[in-house]
Amino acid sequence: MQVENKTFFITGGASGLGAACARLLAKSGARVVLADLNQETGSALARELAEAALFVPTNVVDEQSVQQALQAARDHFGTLHGVINCAGIGSAEKVIGKNGPSSLESFTRVININLIGTFNVIRLAGEIISQNTPEESGERGVIINTASVAAFDGQIGQAAYSASKGGIVGMTLPIAREFARYGIRVMTIAPGIFDTPLLAGLPEPARISLGQQVPFPPRLGRPDEYAALAKHIIENEMLNGEVIRLDGAIRMQPR
């Protein structure tokens, strides 16, 4: 579908990759809902994007929070044509640490936010989108999820994070197969190393070694490059049920 005059619900839309999608889609004539925990950065971006954007404080893990955010989106913009699931957290923890086994709580937290939060939004937004009047082609909407190269090349310390992203990879095709009857496409982007506040949380040695591992271009990815792929996915109906690595050919080393 064309993005102009369409509405997109962007989780994690207040920062990094999600914010880059919001800026690009708004500049392209779309309307964006910034569904994010961060009131400060979310409100600031909504002010920057003016009438093209609505910030709604949202916790993707919380069913009621997502339902209220989706309702706010429909109240404000009338409907919903797509979702870009960017909300997520990083984690860096060895399974056996200096003080013994890592905690179950930290593993569970990462899975809850990154994987279950993504599923929560897919199921609630998908039901809304399935009620849209279809485009001439039969398409009603598109859902884009965010995994990571860590789903495939997880480093030491990424058991929880890689598992959460591997789960997103794993559910892409079965949901695309189910949603085909509604004319809703489901895609996942697996970014490599992108210059965002999240990556800034990585220990310096890890960041340095990663930057040196990208074959070409030998640099961190820019959030606008992620946004450009997300926009293309929205516009290209033949992209469905697939995971696209966006990573400069990096295959991460064990550490």
Ligand X SMILES: CCCCCCCCCCCCC[C@H](O)CC(=O)SCCNC(=O)CCNC(=O)[C@H](O)C(C)(C)COP(=O)(O)OP(=O)(O)OC[C@H]1O[C@@H](n2cnc3c(N)ncnc32)[C@H](O)[C@@H]1OP(=O)(O)O
The catalytic residue positions are: 161
- Asked if residue 242 lies in contact with residue 172, where contact means CB atoms within 8 angstroms, the answer is yes
Which stretch, 57-65, 94-102, 128-136, 180-188, contacts ligand NAD (CB under 6 A)? 57-65
Q: In angstroms, rounded to a whole number, what is the distance separating the alpha carbons of residues 224 and 226?
A: 5
Q: Does residue 83 bind ligand NAD (CB under 6 A)?
A: no
Q: Does residue 16 bind ligand NAD (CB under 6 A)?
A: yes
Q: Please state the length of the chain.
A: 255
Q: In angstroms, rounded to a whole number, what is the distance separating the alpha carbons of residues 148 and 138?
A: 30
Residues 184-203 that bind ligand X (CB under 6 A): 193, 198-199, 201-203
Which ranges of the chain would DSSP assign to H, the alpha helix? 16-27, 39-49, 63-77, 104-110, 117-129, 150-153, 159-179, 204-211, 223-235
Q: In angstroms, rounded to a whole number, what is the distance separating the alpha carbons of residues 96 and 103?
A: 10
Give 199's contacts (C-beta < 8 A, 6+ positions apart): 90, 193, 207, 220
C-beta of 72 vs 206, nearer to ligand X = 206
Q: Does residue 38 bind ligand NAD (CB under 6 A)?
A: yes
Residue 58's binding partner among ligand X, ligand NAD, none (Cβ under 5 to 8 angstroms by kind) is ligand NAD
Q: Does residue 157 bind ligand X (CB under 6 A)?
A: yes
Minimum CB–partner distance for residue 145 and ligand X (Å): 13
> Both ends of the chain: CA-CA distance in Å?
40
Q: In angstroms, rounded to a whole number, what is the distance separating the alpha carbons of residues 107 and 93?
A: 9
Q: Does residue 183 bind ligand NAD (CB under 6 A)?
A: no
Q: Does residue 89 bind ligand NAD (CB under 6 A)?
A: yes
For ligand NAD, the binding residues (CB under 6 A) are 11-12, 14-18, 36-38, 58-61, 86-89, 113-114, 117, 146, 148, 191, 193-194, 196-199
For ligand X, the binding residues (CB under 6 A) are 90-94, 148-150, 155-158, 193, 198-199, 201-203, 205-206, 209-210, 252, 255
